[in-house]
Amino acid sequence: MRESYPSDMSRAQFEIIKPLLESARKKTSPRRVDLYEVFCALLYLLRSG
């Protein structure tokens, strides 16, 4: 488990937008990373610059 950051959103909040992110993906091999973790990393980069 990684350290949480102030820029992270809750899993409950993420579940609301997850269908939008999943629908944009082409159906290929199964995902190897947690989409929530990737999204939180993007939020961190946007917040910290």
pLDDT tens sequence across 1-49? 788 999 999 999 999 999 998 887 777 888 899 999 999 999 999 999 8
Domain count, the chain: 1
**What pLDDT was estimated at residue 25?**
76
42: containing domain: 10-17+33-49
In a domain, 27, yes or no: no
pTM over 0.85: no
In a domain, 45, yes or no: yes
Query: Are residues 4 and 43 in contact, defined by beta-carbon separation less than 8 angstroms?
Result: no
Residue 49 exposure: Cα atoms within 13 Å on the Cβ side: 0
Report the first-to-last Cα separation within the chain, whole angstroms: 24
In a domain, 25, yes or no: no
